[in-house]
Amino acid sequence: MEELPIKGAYLHTPRLFHDDRGTFMESFRAADLAEAAGHGLRLSQANTSVSAKGVIRGVHYADVPPSQAKYVTCLSGRILDVIVDLRVGSPTFGEHVPVVLDSESFRSVYISEGLGHGFAVLSDSATVFYLCSEPYAPTRERGLNPLDPELGIDWQVAEPILSEKDVQAPTMKQALDEGLLPDFETCTTFYKTLS
């Protein structure tokens, strides 16, 4: 587990064991995450998405507390996974970190509560698996338009395919002006309750 440049975001690179049967890896170990992040992941829901080339899902986040931490793995194909710091007052507010996840390295990312998350499919299709700390709650779910120029994300797809919900999502400035973004202090206080 290595911390990414945004506090609360981690990259897990598993050791792969290959033999004539195929490949084995430990894709998630609670103790490793707890050691790196200072707390574990309470598993409440697991999601799987299968998407075609060019699909962008996100940028999604949820109100804190309790929000929804995610542990994301690409099981087949290749994606550009992007973590965005949306916590107002954070030293890295507005910054993003892109990470390639694929079915060759089987790397995963852990995304703390209050951070935004999205991904773009770079291969013909991709299957993405998420472990989530909280169940889906439509009244607390939020999103930003992933193509918002202020986010400045190069999704690396020529013809992006978005849901109508993501197309209609506010820009970062609109969400900030409307008070829809998480507060860094609130997030930091919430993280302490997870230890």
Q: pLDDT tens for residues 91-121?
A: 999 999 999 999 999 999 999 999 999 999 9
- Summarize the confidence of residues 70-90 as an average pLDDT: 98
Q: What is the mean pLDDT of residues 24-50?
A: 95
- 60 a catalytic residue: yes
130: annotated active-site residue: yes
Confidence of residue 43 (pLDDT cuts 50, 70, 90): very high
Contacts of 32 (CB under 8 A, 6+ apart): 1, 12
- Is residue 195 scored above 90 in pLDDT? no
Task: Give 69's contacts (C-beta < 8 A, 6+ positions apart).
Answer: 41, 110, 111, 112, 113, 132, 133, 134
Mean pLDDT of 65-83: 97
Residue among 12, 60, 96, 117 flagged as catalytic: 60
User: Average of pLDDT values for 175-188?
Assistant: 97
**What is the maximum span of the chain, computed from C-alpha positions, in angstroms?**
57
**Residues 61-65: what's their mean pLDDT?**
96
Residue 169 confidence (pLDDT):
98
Active-site residue, selected from the candidate residues 10, 12, 39, 130: 130
pLDDT in tens, 124-165: 999 999 999 999 999 999 999 999 999 999 999 999 999 999
Domains defined for the chain, CATH in brackets: 2-193 (2.60.120.10)
What pLDDT was estimated at residue 162?
98
Measured CA to CA in angstroms, residue 53 lies from 46, 153, 157, 171 at distances of 23, 17, 8, 24
How many of the other CB atoms lie within 10 Å of CB of 51? 19
